[in-house]
């Protein structure tokens, strides 16, 4: 079974020869751009042995809002870039270069942040969070524009960039930020606009229920996101790997390893990492699951550590 067949079968809850594995981290410095972007992705893919590649969009982070934001009404000035804008067009070009290099060897997923996440991370977390509380109508105008950009990126990265699907990093349901009513009214509708675009372009998409900060999320606020695979932080949030099957039901799921520098994957021996890999598979079984880490790994992780997971998955 090749990597494409293995990952598709996991998405479709069909039998696999082994549980697929994929992990990733943020690229820094010159590795984010141009030829280095392609070379670094390919080096990691080949040395780690992972089964699919989540293409990292670090060259496009933070988001190009196009406006200076100091007060809530500034969000009304934010407009969609349009498909021909450099910020949109170059993402599809970067995706195409990676996929040309891979020549179909594996499935690929373009990374996006949910619209409000892109706004928070670019204009400032505390300010943007407060703006939405104080003046939701203004901030929603900006959020709709960012959501349209996301839609254009998704469509171009699949149709022209050659990606199999998209990977949506979802945030803002962390405990203490908003009430459920606020989240459902303000944030979820634009997330669902993006999900609809993902599903219109591919049957293979990933919802990343992000626990990167180590702050617990209201995970149940995300259970109805209409994507094909749920990737959650089982070492941060209250749903453990052991509870994943019951919690997510028939929805394929991904995770298992703690992504932090204090976690076993970063600190453990080969024997410990391989033992943990087999333990995780013993718990989950092999149907409709993929092994990964809670979130992005430390950028200096030794690629061999990921390969140990791949090797152990083949032995399980």
The pLDDT score that the predictor gives to residue 27 is 94
pTM for this one? 0.97
What confidence tens digit (pLDDT) does each residue in 195-212 have?
999 999 999 999 999 998
Q: Report how far residue 63's alpha carbon sits from residue 59's, in angstroms, rounded to the nearest whole number.
A: 10
The pLDDT score that the predictor gives to residue 51 is 98
What confidence tens digit (pLDDT) does each residue in 72-127 have?
999 999 999 999 999 999 999 999 999 999 999 999 999 999 999 999 999 999 99
3-state secondary structure of 25: strand
52 has a pLDDT exceeding 80 = yes
The pLDDT score that the predictor gives to residue 204 is 98
Residue 138 pLDDT class (50, 70, 90 cuts): very high
The pLDDT score that the predictor gives to residue 122 is 96
What confidence tens digit (pLDDT) does each residue in 281-290 have?
999 999 999 9
309 has a pLDDT exceeding 80 = yes
Closest CA to 195 of 221, 156, 168: 168
Q: Is the Cα dihedral 310, 255, 157, 202 positive or negative?
A: positive
The pLDDT score that the predictor gives to residue 282 is 98
- On the 0-12 / 13-18 / 19+ scale of CB atoms within 10 A, 263 is middle
Residue range 224-235: mean pLDDT, rounded:
98
Residue 302 pLDDT class (50, 70, 90 cuts): very high
The pLDDT score that the predictor gives to residue 214 is 82
Closest CA to 111 of 203, 25, 189: 25
């Amino acid at each position: 079974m090749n990597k494409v067949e293995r990952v598709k079968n996991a998405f479709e809850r069909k039998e696999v020869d082994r549980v697929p594995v994929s992990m990733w981290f943020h690229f820094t410095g010159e590795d984010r751009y141009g030829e280095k972007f392609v070379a670094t992705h390919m080096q990691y893919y080949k040395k780690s042995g992972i089964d699919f590649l989540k293409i990292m969009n670090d060259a496009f982070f933070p988001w190009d809002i196009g406006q200076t934001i100091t007060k809530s009404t500034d969000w009304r000035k934010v407009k969609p870039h349009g498909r021909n804008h450099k910020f949109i067009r170059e993402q599809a070009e970067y995706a195409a270069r990676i996929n040309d290099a891979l020549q179909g060897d594996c499935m690929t997923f373009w990374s996006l942040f949910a619209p409000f996440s892109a706004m928070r991370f670019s204009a400032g977390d505390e300010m943007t969070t407060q703006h939405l509380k104080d003046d939701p109508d203004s901030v929603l105008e900006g959020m709709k524009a960012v959501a349209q950009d996301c839609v254009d990126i998704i469509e171009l990265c699949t149709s022209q960039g050659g990606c199999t699907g998209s990977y949506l990093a979802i945030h803002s349901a962390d405990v203490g930020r908003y009430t459920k009513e606020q989240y459902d009214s303000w944030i979820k509708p634009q997330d669902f606009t993006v999900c609809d675009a993902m599903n219109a372009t591919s049957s293979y998409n990933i919802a990343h229920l992000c626990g990167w900060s180590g702050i617990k999320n209201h995970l149940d606020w995300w259970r109805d996101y209409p994507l094909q695979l749920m990737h959650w932080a089982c070492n941060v949030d209250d749903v453990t790997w052991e509870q994943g099957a019951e919690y997510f039901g028939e929805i394929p799921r991904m995770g298992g390893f703690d992504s932090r520098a204090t976690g076993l994957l970063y600190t453990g021996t080969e024997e410990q990492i391989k033992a943990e890999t087999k333990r995780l598979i013993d718990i989950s079984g092999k149907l409709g699951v993929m092994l990964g880490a809670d979130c992005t790994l430390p950028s200096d992780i030794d690629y061999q550590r990921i390969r140990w997971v791949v090797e152990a998955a083949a032995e399980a």
